[in-house]
């Protein structure tokens, strides 16, 4: 059995049960808001059901679509959600491991095949969007001796610090190797007094770039480079046949860094909120110019960063209104998932932005506080929707996070807290949730237990599956197994009785 991931926990957690529910009849479903169509730009969704982006770790090391990718998305499409968002797909033509990429035309044939696969599997009922993302460098936590011998840049600051600490003036003129050797043998307390905060972070967590590292030319030039890179990727998305593109402005990645209240760049792209939203809007305008007004362009951003000094709901509401005003076709909300409060990784592993409290709020489990994990972010989503509507815009808002039953989803829509319901972990547990509930077979839904088994696989960069089905029917013909042969990679088919 997979070991649970390192994840932040409440001091005195309360164990919650998945909620009891009564599933609707087919007639009740047909009368519901959840299964009523909604328009997103030129795209008409057959219902208000939505599968947000999830990274399954199934691409090649070079970012190409594989048969495992096709099988993964085909299985979701068979469940007939109205919309399915392709995983975060890299916009730069750089190595990024087994994650899909769209930074060059050579990726288009595979992406086109993926679009065709989803259309065929859903009989054209599922619209396919692609989430496009930029990210900065994140290095693995180094071995202590290697860090001091190879990675730390020795400066006069270190020499003077050692001189003061040891009351030995010879350190002021010491050669690099002497300084490196001494630090490699020093105590943690001594090292903490000699290194600055970023150097300590690089030692303890691994080196990580920030959008505020403007001393690095490629970071300083991001506002000039990213609009074109995003726009080119969006153009490829349209050429590949996707029904729309979602700009990833959430969690621990580049665009969220520009959003963040912790962004203090002094070049007009940091500080005040109107400066922090400047690049996100410039990226949007470049994308819109590239794909045209008749193509759906949405955004995924945070309702709350859940970190010290980060954005809160007032910031998110402001951004939501600005995005609606600019012309985004939908707003999809998430929460947390930041590097700043992540747990320390083991040596040789990279820091994972879903291990701190912000990570918990992004993917809450049934070990929770009194509020519990279900629909935990919905009140924030409702505030953002209200701000957008009061500003005179009807931009559809997507709610996600611990939404698992029909009654829960329908109540969110009836209360006007959101316009579309997103299910990630529940859809992974049962890709047929949408067909089962719509046809009156909700009692056959495979209920997600919100233990984050899937998240632990993601953290380990292993192919993501669900514990509720990945050991079932392993002898079924035609299925693909994980490299160790112990897990199936897609859920068993449903005998739908229809």
> Would you give per-residue pLDDT tens digits along the chain (498 residues)?
444 456 789 999 999 999 999 999 999 999 999 999 999 999 999 999 999 999 999 999 999 999 999 999 999 999 999 999 999 999 999 888 899 999 999 999 999 999 999 999 999 999 999 999 999 999 999 999 999 999 999 999 999 999 999 999 999 999 999 999 999 999 999 999 999 999 999 999 999 999 999 999 999 999 999 999 999 999 999 999 999 999 999 999 999 999 999 999 999 999 999 999 999 999 999 999 999 999 999 999 999 999 999 999 999 999 999 999 999 999 999 999 999 999 999 999 999 999 999 999 999 999 999 999 999 999 999 999 999 999 999 999 999 999 999 999 999 999 999 999 999 999 999 999 999 999 999 999 999 999 999 999 999 999 999 999 999 999 998 899 999 999 999 999 998 765
Bridge partners of residue 300, in order along the sequence: 248, 332
Q: What is the pLDDT of residues 131-163, one digit of tens each?
A: 999 999 999 999 999 999 999 999 999 999 999
pTM (whole model) above 0.75: yes
d(CA 108, CA 102): 7
Q: What's the length of the chain?
A: 498
d(CA 163, CA 160): 5
Q: Cβ atoms within 10 A of the Cβ of 203, count? A: 21
d(CA 253, CA 137): 10
Q: Helix 313-326 vs helix 278-291: angle between axes, to the nearest 10 degrees?
A: 30
Bridge partners of residue 45, in order along the sequence: 38
Q: DSSP character for 151?
A: I
Q: Return phi, psi of residue 425, to 5°.
A: -60, -35
List the beta strands (DSSP E) in 365-497.
Answer: 367-368, 397-399, 420-422
Q: Helix 67-78 vs helix 108-121: angle between axes, to the nearest 10 degrees?
A: 30
């Amino acid at each position: 059995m997979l070991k649970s991931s390192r994840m932040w926990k409440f001091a005195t957690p309360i164990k919650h049960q998945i909620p009891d529910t009564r599933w609707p009849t087919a007639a009740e479903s047909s009368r519901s808001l959840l299964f009523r169509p909604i328009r997103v730009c030129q795209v008409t969704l057959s219902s208000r059901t939505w599968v947000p982006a999830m990274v399954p770790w199934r691409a090649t090391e070079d970012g190409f679509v594989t048969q495992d990718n096709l099988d993964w998305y085909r299985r979701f499409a068979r469940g007939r959600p109205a919309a399915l968002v392709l995983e975060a797909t890299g916009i730069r033509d750089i190595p990024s491991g087994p994650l899909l990429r769209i930074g060059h035309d050579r990726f288009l044939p595979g992406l086109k095949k993926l679009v065709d696969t989803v259309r065929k599997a859903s009989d054209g009922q599922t619209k396919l969007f692609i989430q496009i993302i930029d990210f900065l460098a994140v290095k693995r936590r180094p071995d202590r001796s290697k860090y001091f011998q190879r990675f730390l840049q020795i400066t006069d600051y270190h020499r003077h610090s050692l001189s003061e600490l040891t009351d030995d003036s010879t350190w002021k003129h010491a050669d690099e190797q002497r300084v490196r050797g001494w630090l490699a043998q020093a105590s943690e307390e001594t090292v903490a007094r000699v290194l600055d905060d970023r150097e300590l972070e690089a030692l303890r967590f691994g080196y990580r770039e920030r959008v505020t590292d403007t001393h690095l030319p490629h970071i300083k030039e991001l506002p000039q480079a990213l609009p074109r890179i995003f726009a080119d990727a969006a153009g490829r998305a349209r050429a590949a046949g996707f029904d729309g593109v979602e700009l990833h402005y959430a969690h621990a990645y580049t665009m969220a860094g520009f959003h963040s209240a912790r962004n203090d760049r002094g070049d007009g792209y940091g500080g005040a909120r109107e400066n922090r939203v400047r690049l996100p809007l410039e990226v949007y305008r470049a994308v819109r110019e590239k794909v045209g007004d008749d193509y759906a362009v949405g955004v995924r951003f945070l309702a709350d960063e859940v970190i010290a000094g980060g954005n809160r709901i007032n910031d998110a509401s402001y951004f939501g209104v600005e995005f609606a005003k600019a012309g985004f076709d939908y707003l999809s909300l998430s929460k947390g998932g930041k590097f700043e409060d992540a747990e320390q990784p083991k040596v040789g592993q990279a820091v994972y932005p879903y291990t701190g409290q912000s990570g918990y709020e992004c993917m809450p489990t049934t070990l929770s506080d009194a509020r519990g994990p279900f629909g935990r972010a919905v009140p924030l989503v409702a505030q953002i929707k209200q701000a957008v509507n009061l500003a005179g815009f009807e931009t559809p808002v997507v709610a996600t996070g611990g939404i698992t039953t029909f009654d829960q989803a329908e109540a969110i829509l009836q209360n006007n807290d959101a316009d579309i319901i997103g299910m990630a972990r529940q859809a992974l547990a049962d890709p047929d949730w949408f067909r089962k509930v719509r046809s009156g077979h909700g009692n056959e839904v495979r209920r997600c237990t919100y233990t984050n088994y899937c998240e632990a696989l993601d953290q380990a960069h292993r192919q993501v599956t669900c514990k509720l089905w990945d050991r079932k029917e392993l002898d079924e013909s035609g299925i693909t197994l994980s490299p160790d042969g112990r897990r199936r990679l897609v859920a068993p088919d449903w005998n739908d009785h229809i």
